[in-house]
Amino acid sequence: MLASGDKEFAAWYAAASPEEAPVEPELEAHQRYYWQAWQDIRGDRHVDGMGAVGPIPYLTISRYAEDHYITGTDFLRFKTIIKAMDAEFLDYIAKTRPKAPEK
C-alpha cells in the first residue's frame, strides 16, 4: 500500500497536467522512431517508496532492441539516444515534481 505522498506522486507522474507535461516536439520520421521507442519503455523504470524515479533499466532497452532486431552499432546508437532522452526526462522530473512537505 502506498503512503499518502506516494499516491500523490504516482498520480502526478501518471497523468501530469498539460501545463506540466513536456511538449512533444515536432519530429522527422527517423526521430519519431526513437520517441515512440522511449514512450513504449519509459514506464518500466523503478519508482521507490519515497517517490524517487530511476532511469530505464539497461535490460529493458536491450530487450526492446532485441524484439525489434536492433543489433551491433545500431544498438549502440539506439541505447545512447534512449539514455539521453531518459536523462532529459529525469532532469525534467527533478525540476518540476512537487516537493515533499517539510516535517
Residue 64 grid cell: 526492446
Q: Is 44 in contact with 72 (CB distance < 8 Å)? A: no
Strand partners, 47: 53
Q: Is residue 101 part of a domain?
A: no
Give yes or no for a contact between 64 and 79, defined as CB atoms under 8 angstroms apart. no
The residue to which cell 511538449 is assigned: 23
- Assess if residue 41 is contained within a domain: yes
Domain with 65 in it: 4-14+27-96
27: enclosing H helix or E strand: none
In a domain, 55, yes or no: yes
- The tally of domains found in the chain comes to 1
- 87: Cβ–Cβ under 8 A, 6 or more apart, which residues? 55
Q: What is the pLDDT of residues 52-93, one digit of tens each?
A: 788 999 999 999 999 999 999 999 999 999 999 999 989 988
pLDDT for the residue 20: 52
Q: What's the mean per-residue pLDDT of the chain?
A: 79
Residues 82-95: tens digit of each pLDDT: 999 999 989 988 88
Note whether residue 53 is domain-resident: yes
